[in-house]
Chain A
């Protein structure tokens, strides 16, 4: 289905003018085939038994409401057309009838019982998280998701992979049109098997988030201090990628922490777990950088320099990928300042940039600047403590559990020597290790 495009009326003021220009841009983007996505009128196609039950319930209630609406307003509009003074209709003067009041109290009550019965059955089914085949702990952070497979050692973070150039369109001239899965792309997918009952334990680390995949029919708040539960069992034959978003206002980047689940067959899932949970992560990264020549070139360049295995390349580009299984041997390595800066820059992009900005200038009043900061350029130990253990009562999270020694050392070194900061010293992985 193709929807007729809106044409904005003649702009009256500059703001409207800007809108019109933007709309032209968007239209051209659409025609160039970069942003083809169909709109929907109803729920996404359900792929779990619960989502199907919800869909059926939703349609049942919807049609009941439509019938009530048509009947009530059928009477009203008939009255509006027939009982009007312009037709010399004489007003009746009746003003009450206990009989009809009873009727229109009892009939709606019966309809409500008819609605409540199936709703109760679905709800009981939804809340039954027993007899699950595997359990995944999901943690909401500002602004990313953490996944831990409690039946194995696999755990990783999943952050937005949509490039910043597509999001920031403030300067129309330099704007890149949004891609197909704009705002619905992540670096690491949640991998789940089809045909198995997956139980999710949901919590949060800072503020309240909500984990939602519409096609699964699941939405639960992720609340600090609470562990909520939900379950889903994706139909066999429905393997593929399913996308959702955070559904509870969690601050500035609420709209920028999507959820992507890769549903695979049970066998594929077992292999993935046996392999330590890395192969699909690599897939995800490949997909995220796909189409971005610059990023691909960077991968190639890094690969050349390192001349090593793919796993290490991945680590260099997107350090989040190796949070799952940090290599124990790395600590023995001697780190140069350039290496730390390079690693730190990558970590900064995925972990710090959302608040402190790509230019390190932060957002005055809300998020402090890194550039020129007295804290960053001051006492080294104090800065290490701040980043490792966070600052209570603010959005500054404790990163000790999220970053490896090397990543932490890198990003601290980077902050002390980038954006015009010139402390000149380095923070070594050993410094971090000593603090743990």
Chain B
């Protein structure tokens, strides 16, 4: 019954499908809801991610509108806290992580010469869990007390005080975790078992390498997060006292468990971005990636180190001196492999023959802006200075430089890079460049002033602030609205490119490297039925 209703809503998809009848792909409901095809599931992930980006972005604009000037003008502090919490949960778990899984679904089989993901039915399931998980999370706005308001870090005991929205968030997090773990298993199995003959591990494209390592991180830490929120759940409802000092529990224990998940999570969100950048730069520099094997080892080193630095998020909880010193040194050490990556990218560009199409602009933008976030991260690692930076807008600026101008802008660059392969049309280069410059400029107007706010002493997660912080908050708000509105252009470019435009060639770019550029554009529904041979 619902079958016909949905099929009706997809009339347009039907028309489009007739062009590719030779692919024998299902249509309508069967194609999109019961798909086991890595390309269709990849598309679903990417659309989901973009939707969440707008939803989370709208919440960010509520935050920025309230912070335009001192005093409370639009929302009360309780709702403001719901906005900061949900903005982060949606962006981290709804926009960035599924976005990268979408890229992996589309590109990993194409890059390793596999006909599909290794576990196609599980692939379908890992996607279709997400809409339900986020429906539960979003419905929490409508229960008494509203959505979770204790920050995405869900620190106990504040979350123990929360209403039933916290329980809904916990259920949603469990579902997202299952989805992520299944996605990660799929990527590992595909990468390790389904590579084309001749493609040794050390010949894999960097994007596949970074995702392989990311997938191991996901499997290692998502269960830890699940454990933390389950303990929270039993503290809330079943009389345990894991985090309640009155019952012999320990509020700091929650933070340790959370950040044991949370810090690798940071790299889960940035390593695939590194992979995308490592694909784009060689293409437009017309020169092979410099230091391939050191890039692989650096990625592995970052992943390993990410497990032993978690407590740098909690220097102010009152750890013993020895603990503070250890976490400071370990954190500083991460800058070595990260630096190696940046140096390798710059050297790849060095003495290349560069052109600056939109994907390349994004790649350069990411290298430049991510490094700024990396350097402020190095400052944050210095424990005594961190006592001043901690929980201020300096931290907010830092993680938006690594997450927005790192992860999100890398995905935007990746979209422009592979969109012609996905849909068979070239995007409008002028509009693409406009999108890059608008995004970059407004991003910096939004977040650069937040460094000054933090240094001058403005704490984060504040619904209202003393008047000396007014000027930079106004810059930030104006920038945020500009940044948000600019993203409508992104949607317009994608939609118009999918609908039509100049036909893309098989290679799309000027002699790019990789198996994905050996199949026609758009990539047929089924590719590599006969495995290619890699020399």
Which residues of A approach B to under 8 Å, CB–CB? 3, 5-6, 8-9, 15-16, 18-19, 22-23, 26, 35, 37-44, 53-54, 57-58, 61-62, 65, 68-69, 72-73, 75-76, 79-80, 83-86, 89-97, 100-101, 104-105, 108-109, 112, 115-116, 119-120, 122-124, 126-127, 166-170, 172, 175, 178, 180-184, 202, 206-208, 210, 212, 214, 217-221, 223-226, 228-229, 244-256, 363-366, 392-395
21 A-B pairs in the complex with CB atoms less than 8 angstroms apart:
A26-B470, A35-B467, A37-B467, A39-B469, A39-B472, A41-B455, A61-B385, A91-B352, A91-B353, A123-B328, A178-B71, A228-B317, A246-B459, A247-B392, A250-B158, A252-B76, A254-B77, A254-B462, A363-B78, A365-B145, A366-B163
For the complex, give the distance between the alpha carbons of A135 and B10 in Å: 71
Residues of A within 8 A of B72 (CB): 167-170
Question: Do A255 and B465 touch (CB < 8 A)?
Answer: yes
Known: A91-B287, A183-B466, A364-B144. A208 touches B353 (CB 8 A): no
Given A249-B150, A251-B81, 17 additional A-B pairs, CB 8 A: A3-B471, A15-B74, A35-B470, A61-B382, A84-B355, A91-B285, A97-B291, A123-B321, A123-B325, A167-B464, A183-B70, A207-B157, A214-B457, A226-B317, A248-B316, A251-B161, A256-B77
Question: Do A183 and B465 touch (CB < 8 A)?
Answer: yes
Interface check B132, CB cutoff 8 A: no
Q: Which of B149, B236, B249, B354 gathers most chain A CB within 10 Å?
A: B354
Residues of B within 8 A of A96 (CB): 290-294
Which residues of B approach A to under 8 Å, CB–CB? 65, 68-74, 76-78, 81, 143-146, 149-151, 155, 157-158, 160-161, 163, 236, 245-246, 249-252, 285-294, 316-318, 321, 324-325, 328-329, 332-333, 335-336, 339-340, 342-343, 346-347, 349-356, 364, 367-368, 371-372, 375-376, 378-379, 382-385, 387-388, 390-392, 452, 455-457, 459, 461-472, 474-475, 477-478, 481
Smallest Cβ-Cβ distance to B159: which chain A residue:
A207
Question: Do A23 and B470 touch (CB < 8 A)?
Answer: no
Question: Do A225 and B250 touch (CB < 8 A)?
Answer: yes
Min CB distance A62 to B, Å, is 7
Residues of A within 8 A of B245 (CB): 224-226
Min CB distance B388 to A, Å, is 6
Question: Do B329 and A210 touch (CB < 8 A)?
Answer: no
Residues of A within 8 A of B287 (CB): 91-93, 95
Question: Do A208 and B155 touch (CB < 8 A)?
Answer: yes
Smallest Cβ-Cβ distance to B383: which chain A residue:
A123
Q: Which of B333, B355, B464 gathers most chain A CB within 10 Å?
A: B464
Question: Do B384 and A126 touch (CB < 8 A)?
Answer: yes
Smallest Cβ-Cβ distance to A226: which chain B residue:
B318
Residues of A within 8 A of B383 (CB): 119, 123
Residues of B within 8 A of A210 (CB): 316, 390-391
Question: Do A252 and B382 touch (CB < 8 A)?
Answer: no
The 7 closest A-B pairs by CB, nearest first: A225-B245, A365-B144, A365-B145, A228-B318, A169-B71, A37-B468, A91-B353
Q: Which of A19, A97, A249 gathers most chain B CB within 10 Å?
A: A249
- The contact of B379 among A65, A94, A100, by CB within 8 Å, is A65
For the complex, give the distance between the alpha carbons of A23 and B76 in Å: 19
Question: Do A168 and B71 touch (CB < 8 A)?
Answer: yes
For the complex, give the distance between the alpha carbons of A202 and B73 in Å: 34
Question: Do A108 and B316 touch (CB < 8 A)?
Answer: no
Smallest Cβ-Cβ distance to A124: which chain B residue:
B321
Residues of A within 8 A of B144 (CB): 364-366
- The contact of B452 among A39, A80, A93, A208, by CB within 8 Å, is A39
Min CB distance B340 to A, Å, is 6
Question: Do A79 and B157 touch (CB < 8 A)?
Answer: no
- The contact of A255 among B77, B149, B251, by CB within 8 Å, is B77
Smallest Cβ-Cβ distance to A223: which chain B residue:
B251
Q: Which of A6, A180, A212 gathers most chain B CB within 10 Å?
A: A6
Min CB distance A39 to B, Å, is 5
- The contact of B157 among A23, A122, A208, by CB within 8 Å, is A208
Smallest Cβ-Cβ distance to A8: which chain B residue:
B478
- The contact of B467 among A97, A109, A178, A366, by CB within 8 Å, is A178
Question: Do A91 and B468 touch (CB < 8 A)?
Answer: no
Question: Do A104 and B388 touch (CB < 8 A)?
Answer: no
Residues of A within 8 A of B356 (CB): 80, 84
Question: Do B452 and A41 touch (CB < 8 A)?
Answer: yes
Question: Do B236 and A393 touch (CB < 8 A)?
Answer: yes
Residues of B within 8 A of A251 (CB): 81, 149-150, 158, 161
- The contact of B390 among A6, A219, A366, by CB within 8 Å, is A219
Min CB distance B343 to A, Å, is 5
Question: Do B466 and A181 touch (CB < 8 A)?
Answer: yes
Question: Do A116 and B329 touch (CB < 8 A)?
Answer: yes
For the complex, give the distance between the alpha carbons of A125 and B325 in Å: 13
Smallest Cβ-Cβ distance to B318: which chain A residue:
A228
Min CB distance B496 to A, Å, is 23
For the complex, give the distance between the alpha carbons of A253 and B80 in Å: 11
Residues of B within 8 A of A207 (CB): 155, 157-158, 161
Residues of A within 8 A of B339 (CB): 104, 108
Question: Do A91 and B286 touch (CB < 8 A)?
Answer: yes
Question: Do A6 and B474 touch (CB < 8 A)?
Answer: yes
Question: Do B350 and A249 touch (CB < 8 A)?
Answer: no
Residues of B within 8 A of A219 (CB): 316, 387-388, 390-391
Smallest Cβ-Cβ distance to B248: which chain A residue:
A225
Smallest Cβ-Cβ distance to B469: which chain A residue:
A39
Min CB distance B390 to A, Å, is 6
Residues of A within 8 A of B81 (CB): 249, 251-252, 254
For the complex, give the distance between the alpha carbons of A208 and B456 in Å: 23
For the complex, give the distance between the alpha carbons of A245 and B387 in Å: 14
Question: Do A54 and B317 touch (CB < 8 A)?
Answer: no
Question: Do B332 and A69 touch (CB < 8 A)?
Answer: no
Min CB distance A393 to B, Å, is 6
Known: A101-B340, A105-B336. A126 touches B387 (CB 8 A): yes
Question: Do B457 and A83 touch (CB < 8 A)?
Answer: no
For the complex, give the distance between the alpha carbons of A83 and B351 in Å: 5
Question: Do A85 and B353 touch (CB < 8 A)?
Answer: yes
Question: Do B467 and A79 touch (CB < 8 A)?
Answer: no
Smallest Cβ-Cβ distance to A126: which chain B residue:
B384
- The contact of A39 among B145, B329, B470, by CB within 8 Å, is B470
Question: Do A221 and B318 touch (CB < 8 A)?
Answer: yes
Question: Do A252 and B77 touch (CB < 8 A)?
Answer: yes
Q: Which of B68, B335, B452, B468 gathers most chain A CB within 10 Å?
A: B468
For the complex, give the distance between the alpha carbons of A68 and B377 in Å: 14
For the complex, give the distance between the alpha carbons of A182 and B461 in Å: 18
Min CB distance A201 to B, Å, is 11
- The contact of B353 among A84, A112, A127, by CB within 8 Å, is A84
Smallest Cβ-Cβ distance to A50: which chain B residue:
B384
For the complex, give the distance between the alpha carbons of A123 and B387 in Å: 10
For the complex, give the distance between the alpha carbons of A18 and B471 in Å: 18
For the complex, give the distance between the alpha carbons of A184 and B464 in Å: 11
Question: Do B251 and A224 touch (CB < 8 A)?
Answer: yes
Question: Do B251 and A95 touch (CB < 8 A)?
Answer: no
Residues of B within 8 A of A218 (CB): 387
Min CB distance A103 to B, Å, is 9
Question: Do B289 and A175 touch (CB < 8 A)?
Answer: no
- The contact of B466 among A37, A97, A253, A394, by CB within 8 Å, is A37
Residues of A within 8 A of B285 (CB): 83, 91
Residues of A within 8 A of B452 (CB): 39-42
Question: Do A183 and B325 touch (CB < 8 A)?
Answer: no
Q: Which of A9, A15, A42, A72 gathers most chain B CB within 10 Å?
A: A72
Min CB distance A210 to B, Å, is 6
Question: Do B336 and A108 touch (CB < 8 A)?
Answer: yes
Question: Do A72 and B294 touch (CB < 8 A)?
Answer: no
For the complex, give the distance between the alpha carbons of A93 and B372 in Å: 29
